[in-house]
A and B are shown apart, each in its own frame.
Chain A
Amino acid sequence: MSDLGTFRAETRAWLEENCPPEMRKPMTGEGDACWGGRKWTFQSDAQKVWLERMAEKGWTVPEWPVEYGGGGLSKEEAKVLRDEMKAIKARSPLMSFGIWMLGPALLKFGNEEQKKEHLPKIARGEIRWAQGYSEPNAGSDLASLMTKCEDQGDHYLINGQKVWTSYADEADWIFVLVRTDFDAPKHEGISFVLVDMDQEGVTTKPIKLISGKSPFCETFFDDARCEKYNLVGEKNKGWTIAKYLLTHEREMIGGTGTGAMRPMGDIAVQQLGLNDAGQLVDPVLRTDVARAEIDGLAFMATMERVTDEAKSGQGVGANSSMLKYYGTELNKRRFELMMDSSGHDGLEWDQDNDVARHWLRTKANSIEGGTSEVQLNIISKRILNLPTA
């Protein structure tokens, strides 16, 4: 048996042994996800055990190096692990902005102390991170951010306000883009710092959205303290890190709405039924659903192709903008169809599957992480090489 074959057999056996049965059932909502952190209350023993066992193996972050709490797996091995988890419908043991966003940035730009300090805690789900990027006056024009970071000799002092900080009220630490030079051109006075939220100078206030939920907060910094060793990369060079991280965020948001989701056609059939000819009773919806499913297939094939091209060095870097643009617009279409096929039931505010709230939530997909229009600008500039005025 090949090495990969052996790994697959061992992985399968380990998962069979260690993944609790409750963690092999589909999640029914966001409430079933495990986010970890100091403030986290596990919903069940199974959720706790599953996280601990996976973290022990380093498999919450399979491809990170072992010394930072990762599994040290190769890309191929990590794919085997994903496949095997999928085969038994195992839930992800840990949802985490630390894993998806900060981790990759620290691995690339952090120093050894920072990696040793923060990465293992992310991997074990001990510290939950929030992202401090947007400000009330810095949305699409993120680089115009004004949160002030002053050098106080032995530490930094931060004053300002961030907005759209996801789950900041439940987070322990926050990675923040701050302005360290007000005289330099806007992209050259930004730094990337890590701030402990367990201090008086940092407060959060949830924002109620049209979905009635509050996944985002405003986060205020009033003389918040940041130790100097928590500056990542060089001072005033934070924009490079910000862009790198945004690329990861785009890929993540762009990827929502495909993959593991139940095919739209199946949902529509279940909700509305078939006529005598075996076709969805609403013929116009049938066409729209088929088009959306075809676009979904084409989108998934594109994700695969872009990944494979990147691996073979033929990739177009800015394609993450194309994926973000198309994936989010497609997800919005999907949820419009979901509402269409849910009919009057879907219009009720409180119901089991919360379709109305999910539908409303998707409207943010094409805004967060760079609007669709910003992505189109990036495609024009970086891929089509169209000139700017």
Chain B
Amino acid sequence: MGRITLDKVTKSFGDIEVIPPLDLTIDEGEFVVFVGPSGCGKSTLLRLIAGLEDVSSGQIRIDREDATHLPPAKRKLAMVFQSYALYPHMSVRKNIAFPLKMAGMSKEEQDKRVDYAAQVLNLSDYIDRKPGQLSGGQRQRVAIGRAIVREPAAFLFDEPLSNLDAALRVNMRLEISELHTKLKTTMVYVTHDQVEAMTMADKIVVLQAGRIEQVGSPLELYRAPRNRFVAGFIGSPKMNFITGEEAAKHGAHEIGVRPEHLQPSTESGMWKGTVGVGEHLGSDTFLHVHDTGLAETITVRASGEMALRHGDTIWLTPEADKIHKFDAAGLRVE
């Protein structure tokens, strides 16, 4: 249950090809995150899997069955939308029971399943309220509840947390991850936020302009990004990129060093620079270093206790084995 295979799937809107031929396998029980900048085709890809958009060519298989031309309802997939898409005139109970009612399930069975979903998601207290009376996080949970009761082969999430405030987003992130461990159902999750991708995914699919840039576990992508795009996209704050002489020294067109792989020092080091803005997070401080002669700014992670002020001189030393090398085409060089 819940293995999704995309085989040479393409999608065009008129003459514009949004998704060039694409192959991807999502294994049973996996938590897969599609991540990429906005407009990269990740939502379109999800909608193709859901059946809300028709593929232009290629094949989609769900559990080895050809689902390319099945209507959305027959694909045994459930989707949670960005706007939650709750039915405003129905109570929470009716919202969650709607797919069951459409499937023609008996009233007792409906109630049983709704009560179970409400209990799993802590919705029991406001089961008779209308969506308009709920907070963002509660609405989100109702939307997930509506997906759970169908016992689908896979869940599809389309940027479900983007309408929540930062604190709630962290909470819901945890709740969804917990739900995944509890249900062990395949989940496909779309987001533009690489932190969500890193924290939740078993497997991340990085997309750009409809193409898959790299597929792998969060740490694989972090340790060995296949190209410059993935290197810049995964990791927060972003990797520092350096071209020119310094890169040539390492035998590459361009090198990249993550802020956490630079050793800051007030006395000595490889690169000298001036401290610009410091972002104090308590545990860490991110310093933006200027005038290194390498790049406009270089971001470095220092310990939270490091006493440096705007305009101070700083030396940076990269950890030699953590330098990523790229050729002129932006591909990784080992």
The answer to whether A and B belong to the same complex is no
- A-binding residues in B (CB < 8 A): none
